[in-house]
Amino acid sequence: MSVPSREPAVIAGMFDAIARRYDTLNHLLSAGLDRRWRARAVASLGLTGRERLLDMCTGTADLAIAAVTDRHRAKDVVGIDFSSEMLTIARQKVRAAGLESRIRLARGDATAMPLPEASFDAATVGFGIRNVVDPLAACREFHRVLRPGGTLAVLEFGSPTAPGLRQAYAWYFQHVLPRIGRLVSKHDAAYSYLPASVNAFPSGAAFARILQQAGFHDVQFRRLTFGIVYLYLARR
């Protein structure tokens, strides 16, 4: 399966088109597990309520909201995304939750973050790093904007490693998920792009090496839900 263009304008346009159905599809296609994955990522940061957190590729701000409402919470969050329509939905959700004083949202590019050096205690990116045209450049930017000792948590899709489950999941991912996605989102390309982009992404040890190349240390990764999702942790 070929991977569609990852040029920022192309990907941003695709996410603009599916923004209003994005949350519904996330919850439906993951059977609600996406909430658990985000909670695990926030918990892994060991937040104390005093930290300033960057949520890159924030989308509709689910991870940003979790970061300030979870039991392990940050003081405040800056959420950045390159899709204006996703940010429109995110602002509506932040306003409805009464979190405007704790979550600020802005449009930006993960490979050229409009942020000063060493300005965040922690950072997250949930299911967005594979959409970046240059993941190494984005990881270097995370390293730049984190303070020494700061932690980055990355959630990204992977593939189960257990025989049988791997084949069943591959069939679901390649055939069932795109059909449901097209039916609900009314967008032909977006949910065909998803399995193609996941298959092309350097997961596990390969992405851990990218984090190390970007300057991070104490890099580790954990398989969640049998390897459907990976949680990467890295320290500045």
Local confidence band at 53 (pLDDT 50, 70, 90 cut-offs): very high
For residue 103, pLDDT beyond 50: yes
Q: Identify the pLDDT of residue 1.
A: 47
Q: How far apart are CA 181 and CA 202, in angstroms?
A: 24
Give the chain's mean pLDDT: 91
Q: Going from the N-terminus, what domains does the chain have, and what CATH number goes with each?
A: 8-235 (3.40.50.150)
**Between 152 and 196, whose confidence is greater?**
152
Q: Identify the pLDDT of residue 9.
A: 81
Local confidence band at 4 (pLDDT 50, 70, 90 cut-offs): low
For residue 43, pLDDT beyond 80: yes
Residue 6 sits at φ, ψ, to 5 deg, of -105, 15
Lowest mean pLDDT among 57-66, 157-166, 178-187, 193-202: 178-187
Cα separation values, 153 from 20, 37, 180, Å: 26, 11, 29
For residue 26, pLDDT beyond 90: no
Classified as helix, coil or strand, 176 is: helix
**Between 19 and 222, whose confidence is greater?**
222
Candidates 68, 7, 9, 5; CA nearest to 42 is 68
Per-residue pLDDT, averaged over 64-93, amounts to 96
Q: How far apart are CA 65 and CA 234, in angstroms?
A: 22
Cα separation values, 133 from 3, 23, 119, Å: 12, 24, 24
Q: Which two tokens stand for residue 101?
A: 């004083």
Q: How far apart are CA 219 and CA 146, in angstroms?
A: 15
**Between 4 and 220, whose confidence is greater?**
220
Q: Which two tokens stand for residue 67?
A: 């970061």
Crossing angle for the helix pair 84-96 and 62-69, to the nearest 10 degrees: 30
Candidates 130, 132, 129, 86; CA nearest to 107 is 86
Per-residue pLDDT, averaged over 110-129, amounts to 96
Percent of the residues in the chain that have a pLDDT greater than 90, as a whole number: 68
Q: Identify the pLDDT of residue 202.
A: 92
Residue 98 burial (10 A CB sphere; 0-12, 13-18, 19+): exposed
For residue 80, pLDDT beyond 80: yes
Q: How far apart are CA 113 and CA 231, in angstroms?
A: 22
Q: Identify the pLDDT of residue 100.
A: 97
